[in-house]
Amino acid sequence: MDCADIAVVILAAGLCRRFGGDKLMAPLGDLPLGVHIGHTLSNMGFGWRFAVCGPTSAISVHYADLGFQIIENLSPEAGQAHSLHLAVAAASATPAQALLVTLADMPFVPESHLRAVARAGVLTASNNGTANMPPALFPRESWPDLLTTSGDRGGAALLGSARVIAIAPAWLRDIDTAADLPASK
């Protein structure tokens, strides 16, 4: 599938409880942690770009500067599934044929992997050797199933039957605590 036919979303409305602060604004290299995935996605030619952010999120301005339409999640405590529902609603207003779901706290995913997932054209998940996870591609016909999800697992239940594209675990690493950040040099 061509990127121009795909809507991409960055889910960035998590509460960051385990991190102890706004992890998406934590420095990682010369950028805030949450900006890395936005930079990677911004030049890939996706037809529609969305970022679901909390109502007071400082990261929103960075995504807007990269050309993402900000979707405000007024109920981040409802879990990742609520952010997915908002993303599906936004994508449904477009002629997009699929929705590529990415996470703001996964800064290391390379463009080549994102392109491989996007090209698949069918329900596709990334796999780190132990679990299916985002980045994941949800074709339009699967969007009603995404709307039935709830809680913090988001679309994970749907990924059990997905086509899998494996990648080294280090590239799919997410940042949940300050200790997960690479040591600064």
Q: Residue 164 has what pLDDT?
A: 96
At residue 63, the pLDDT reads 97
User: 37-49, pLDDT tens digit by residue?
Assistant: 999 999 999 999 9
Task: For residue 152, give Cα distances in angstroms to 27, 29, 78, 155, 174.
Answer: 25, 28, 8, 9, 15
Does domain 3-177 correspond to CATH entry 3.30.420.10? no
Domain positions in the chain are 3-177
**Residue 25: per-residue pLDDT:** 87
Each residue's pLDDT tens digit, 69-109: 999 999 888 888 899 999 999 999 999 999 999 999 999 99
Q: What is the pLDDT of residue 118?
A: 97
Residues 84/156, Cβ–Cβ less than 8 Å: no
Q: Which residues of the chain have pLDDT under 70?
A: 15-21, 153-154, 176-185
| Beta-sheet pairing, 132-139 with 124-127 | antiparallel
Record the pTM.
Answer: 0.92
> Could you give the CA distance from residue 61 to residue 54 in angstroms, rounded to a whole number?
12
